[in-house]
Structure 1
Amino acid sequence: MPVPQQTLVTGATVTPPWFMDETPLATDGYCKAVFKEAFSRLDMLFVAIPMSKPRIDQSLTSGKIEGVLCSSPKWYQNNQLPMAATLPIASASNVILMNKANAAAISSPDELSGKTIATIIGFQYNDSYQDIFKHTDLRRKDVTTGTSALQMLLAGRVDAVILDRSEAKWLLEREFAGAPVEEVYAFSESTDIGLLLFGGKQRLIPLINNALKEMQRDGTLEHLKASYFNPPVEH
């Protein structure tokens, strides 16, 4: 009898173009495409389930998933499970967006004191954002997707949003083309991201890294990056 393929089950937050919602017409997103290819070269199956950050945390604790896609150990410092990350496949950073009618460039998020800002539930941010949130009257409104955050901004329900820079560009060129939205602040720190594995699955890291190195040498990574970050935009 044939030996069944080993399967790795991971969670991922919907953050285009890194990871897309799994609707019939959706594509994988850059991160999922990279690791699907890497695992196919290892003759293994790779599954990524769309989840919010709190649900990912719960699923890791219960053992329902074994890794987190498009992630970094920096984002799971409070998790007590043993973890390890693959080689990074990209770097991510965040921006603050506002409606153009009210937009003005800022030098620090604390200049938004007194305003309400939409953020992705479960995520923390750099540039002392957490201290600013604690010590000013900057109000945080959690949402599950960047699409929801921009909808709230355009409806006037929040004053600003924090989004991943690549996600903001993707959404404003596609779902919100022509929307009166402007970047007012770019966070100074970027984070290397890859596949984060927990518990016994850490043993797969050397194998996955070898596959990623092979994909770098043969041009697969560059091809996938161009496919998701520099595709033609249809209007």
Structure 2
Amino acid sequence: MKTQFVPTDFNGIILALKSGKFDAIISGMSITDERKKQIDFSKPYFMSGQIIIVKSGNKSITKSDDLVGKTIGVELGTTGDKSSQDLDKKLKEKQSKGIKEIKKYDKATDALQDLQTGRSDAVIIDEPVGRYYVSAADKKGKYTVLSEKLTSEPMGIGFKKGDKELEESVQKALDEMKKDGTLL
């Protein structure tokens, strides 16, 4: 197959798939019940989850409970966005106070930039995405990833509902990659 990559804001990625802008979502897409109502998925190929990132040197936030009264950055439309809302609800039930503000960004890099400049206190983000960005040479030592993981999420490749031919073809390739060790 010929591959063409189509960069798309994550918040509109499902709509773009459904409208035919591209044929599959291969972008760290967490498989959720809500998303399964709109699109089909491959079998999970990776387990991920949401993590919390703070600016290096921040000693006041060491766990999710410390986010009470804090400003949190998330990428719009991601499971990090949903996790922040779930955490806010949990904190309000547990401590009768929640997150001060959930700032939503079109790009994860914008959320991390605002964290670095002090416009937010933490970022909730997909683990592979967050670890990738904070490990970049120009970012080393600027961020701390907390040890607590907020969620555990299976990742899959998204397809338009009913596009079984492409889904089966991609699933066959994934299965072969698992079998030969290319995909762990």
TM-score (norm 2): 0.77
1:92 paired residue among 33, 48, 51: 48
Provide the C-alpha distance between the structure 1 equivalents of 2:5 and 2:59, rounded to a whole number of angstroms: 37
2:73 paired residue among 107, 118, 123: 118
Corresponding residue of 1:29:
none
For structure 2, the residue ranges without an aligned partner over 5 or more in a row are 93-97
5 Å-filtered alignment, 1:73-222, equals 73-74=31-32, 77=34, 80-81=37-38, 83-108=39-64, 110-125=65-80, 129-133=84-88, 135=92, 136-174=98-136, 175-179=138-142, 181-184=143-146, 186-222=148-184
CA contact (8 A) 1:117 1:159 kept: yes
Report the alpha carbon displacement of residue 152 of structure 1 after superposing the two structures with TM.
1.2
Corresponding residue of 1:5:
none
TM-score (norm 1): 0.63
Report the alpha carbon displacement of residue 146 of structure 1 after superposing the two structures with TM.
2.9
Q: CA RMSD in A?
A: 2.8
Provide the C-alpha distance between the structure 1 equivalents of 2:84 and 2:5, rounded to a whole number of angstroms: 29
Q: Which one scores higher on RCO, CA 8 angstroms, separation ≥ 6?
A: 2
Partner of 2:162, secondary structure, is helix
- Say if 1:84 and 1:169 are closer, same or farther in 2 by CA, change over 3 A: same
Provide the C-alpha distance between the structure 2 equivalents of 1:78 and 1:84, rounded to a whole number of angstroms: 8
Q: 2:49 is aligned with what amino acid? A: S
Corresponding residue of 1:23:
none
1:153-198 Cα distance to aligned partner (Å, 9 max, x none) = 111111111122222322222130132x222352242211121111
Report the alpha carbon displacement of residue 120 of structure 1 after superposing the two structures with TM.
0.7
- Say if 1:138 and 1:132 are closer, same or farther in 2 by CA, change over 3 A: farther
Report the alpha carbon displacement of residue 62 of structure 1 after superposing the two structures with TM.
2.9
Corresponding residue of 2:8:
51
- Report the identity percentage: 28
Report the alpha carbon displacement of residue 130 of structure 1 after superposing the two structures with TM.
1.8
Report the alpha carbon displacement of residue 212 of structure 1 after superposing the two structures with TM.
1.6
CA contact (8 A) 2:74 2:80 kept: no
Provide the C-alpha distance between the structure 1 equivalents of 2:183 and 2:7, rounded to a whole number of angstroms: 23
Report the alpha carbon displacement of residue 125 of structure 1 after superposing the two structures with TM.
3.8
For structure 1, the residue ranges without an aligned partner over 5 or more in a row are 1-43, 223-235
Report the alpha carbon displacement of residue 137 of structure 1 after superposing the two structures with TM.
4.2
- Say if 1:164 and 1:114 are closer, same or farther in 2 by CA, change over 3 A: same
Provide the C-alpha distance between the structure 1 equivalents of 2:179 and 2:88, rounded to a whole number of angstroms: 44
Q: 2:74 is aligned with what amino acid? A: T
Corresponding residue of 1:226:
none
Provide the C-alpha distance between the structure 2 equivalents of 1:106 and 1:178, rounded to a whole number of angstroms: 17
How many residues end up aligned between the 2 structures? 175
